[in-house]
Structure 1
Amino acid sequence: MTSALFSQILDGLYDNKIVPYLGAGVLFDASNKTTGQAMPATSDSLILAMNNGQPMAPKLMYEFPRAAMNLELKRGRNFLSQFLTKTYGETEWTRAAIHEWLANWKPAYVIDVNRDTQLQDSYADEEHTLIVGVARITASQFRYRIYHFDGNHYFEITQDQVDPRLPVLFKPMGTPKPEANFVASDADYVDYITELMGGFAIPGFLKNYRKDKQYLFLGLRLNRDSERMVMADIIRDGGEPKGWALIKNPTDKEIRYCKKIGLEIVDADVADWLDVVGYGCEQKLTA
């Protein structure tokens, strides 16, 4: 990453014109405080954790939602919710460096497609709005819940009650806190993406706020359709170019896709970004 590009992106982030969009790769350095094992966040690691450390059939190992659907059919939907709640809501993890960086400056809007609580923990000392994706519910056509955090507790609100002065944390794939809601299996994704495309998975106030915003994709690979379909609708109405995706050694598929939607690929990973913002092991910024 050149110094000029780094400065451009960083200025946009700190001016809240560029929105951080967090994928599984941002949790690469988070580990279990007791065992030292890495937090399962990537598709493969989640499948292994969900299946007692054992790989599943190759066609199921292709993607976590597919494997999750298989086990949901065998063991019920509650099994997935219990697994994700135990993993992310009951296990103590070390802090990921990317969240230390975010906590230091607290952007006005962050999108996090992981299911852990570290982003929420970064805002635990101030009021904020939390939007959580939900799927396969019958009580409403909407596929989100909105919570206000008052500095101590979350409580559910309507979008008419949202304070526009507060930062917004968007967790489309769910979180165990304040109550467990997750988008995990293929069936969840089909339902969520359908309503996302129809405009029912993002509150109206956020649709207005996101206009002309650009994005910095951190730790998100773009080889899989589920991630791409969720992302494409979440960033709708963005600026030009759409933003930058930090992808180390991008595949031809990722290169073609990013070119198609107007994303610039930066051949770097989260560790490289942490180095240049001063939260890594060393500075790797080169002119």
Structure 2
Amino acid sequence: MATAALLADALADEAILSGPEAEKILGEVSARLRAGDIVPYLGPAVVGMSESAIPLAPEGLAEFFGKKVSLPRRARGNAWSAAQYIEGYKLRPTVVLFMTEAFSAPVKPAPLQAFLAGLNLPLIVDIWYDAAMRKALSDAESWGEVQGISRAGIGEDRWFRFYDASGGEAKAADAAGWKTLLYKPHGSVAPAKNYLISDADYVEVLTEIDIQTPIPDAVKDRRGDRGFLFIGCRFHDQMLRTYARQVSKRSAPPHYAVIEPDQELTLNEKRFFAAENIVPLAIPLACACEIIMA
């Protein structure tokens, strides 16, 4: 009965808030965000609000790979499978080369990123591979970054690396002194071209992510008594849902997700929102950003 009730809740359109009610709640969430009680979890649509020549979704990245090599049908449209095919037939350096080419175009931070950089937030999560959020933080008072890394060929028992504001590699202990920690769970083009992208990369991570080994302790410490605001994200892919679930694990729900009003949620997205206590707010992204920055 509990499972049936959960499914019914997940499918209920009235669970998606819209109009003035959604905007009012987002205003309240924004106040908590400014106070440091909400963690922003940024997807690629956020940086897409700035002029950019980079891929702005996993599907766009898959299309980029498809222009570089002839992909088999099973890998078309799926960035992780496409990267795995390239890694298998052209080796890992080619994947790194293609990813660096895809994300090396200069990207100006979006207004929301610049705004967040000025708040001295304890934790910012950014799941895309560009360096716009790092650039936005360049003038921040005290900050550093931790990135997920591929373990392919590094010969180390490590899941992530820390970097200071200058881009130099730092120690995990250094993070305790940073006011703001930027977490890039899938890696980034800057400062060191770390990419979690192929199926093989994720197989290793997903075998242990449920027990939180690949999640840095510094992230665990800063998320504990906070909620999350998912903005510019989609959760129509299992891997994206898994990461969001594990990054926000043992935090303080309810969480909130900004979705486009005309966005048709998949059944799995609805189930995910219901299971993880995420309140969907149907507000256009540009309008949501204005509310947050007001």
User: What TM-score, normalized by structure 2, do the two folds share?
Assistant: 0.83
- Partner secondary structure for residue 110 of structure 1: strand
Q: Which gives a bigger RCO, structure 1 or 2 (Cα 8 Å, sep 6+)?
A: 2
Cα distance in 1 between the residues matched to 2:235 and 2:151 = 25
Cα distance in 2 between the residues matched to 1:10 and 1:30 = 21
Q: Give the corresponding residue for 1:64.
A: 79
Cα distance, 1:76–1:183 mapped onto 2, change above 3 Å: same
Q: Give the corresponding residue for 2:127.
A: 113
Q: CA deviation at 1:10?
A: 0.4
User: What TM-score, normalized by structure 1, do the two folds share?
Assistant: 0.85
Q: 2:147 aligns with which of 126, 132, 148?
A: 132
- The gaps in structure 2 that reach 5 residues or longer are 1-18
Q: Give the corresponding residue for 1:49.
A: 64
Q: 2:29 aligns with which of 9, 14, 30?
A: 9
Q: 1:204 aligns with which of 217, 229, 235?
A: 217
Cα distance in 2 between the residues matched to 1:79 and 1:139 = 19
Tell which deviates more after alignment, 200-209 or 215-224.
200-209
Tell which deviates more after alignment, 49-58 or 197-206.
49-58
Q: CA deviation at 1:54?
A: 8.2
Q: 1:87 aligns with which of 102, 107, 119?
A: 102
Cα distance in 2 between the residues matched to 1:147 and 1:28 = 25
Tell which deviates more after alignment, 46-55 or 109-118.
46-55
Tell which deviates more after alignment, 2-11 or 270-279.
270-279
Q: CA deviation at 1:60?
A: 2.0
Alpha carbons 1:48, 1:54 under 8 Å: kept: no
Superposition RMSD in Å: 2.3
Q: 1:148 aligns with which of 164, 172, 179?
A: 164
Identity rate of aligned residues, in percent?
22
Q: Give the corresponding residue for 1:78.
A: 93
Question: Is structure 2 residue 125 aligned with structure 1 residue 122?
Answer: no
Q: Give the corresponding residue for 2:16.
A: none
Structure 1 segments, 4+ long, off by >6 Å, are none
Q: Give the corresponding residue for 2:10.
A: none
Q: CA deviation at 1:251?
A: 2.6
Question: Is structure 2 residue 245 aligned with structure 1 residue 232?
Answer: yes
Alpha carbons 1:48, 1:55 under 8 Å: kept: no
- The gaps in structure 1 that reach 5 residues or longer are 33-37, 280-287
Q: CA deviation at 1:56?
A: 4.8
Question: Is structure 2 residue 279 aligned with structure 1 residue 264?
Answer: yes
Cα distance in 2 between the residues matched to 1:257 and 1:190 = 21
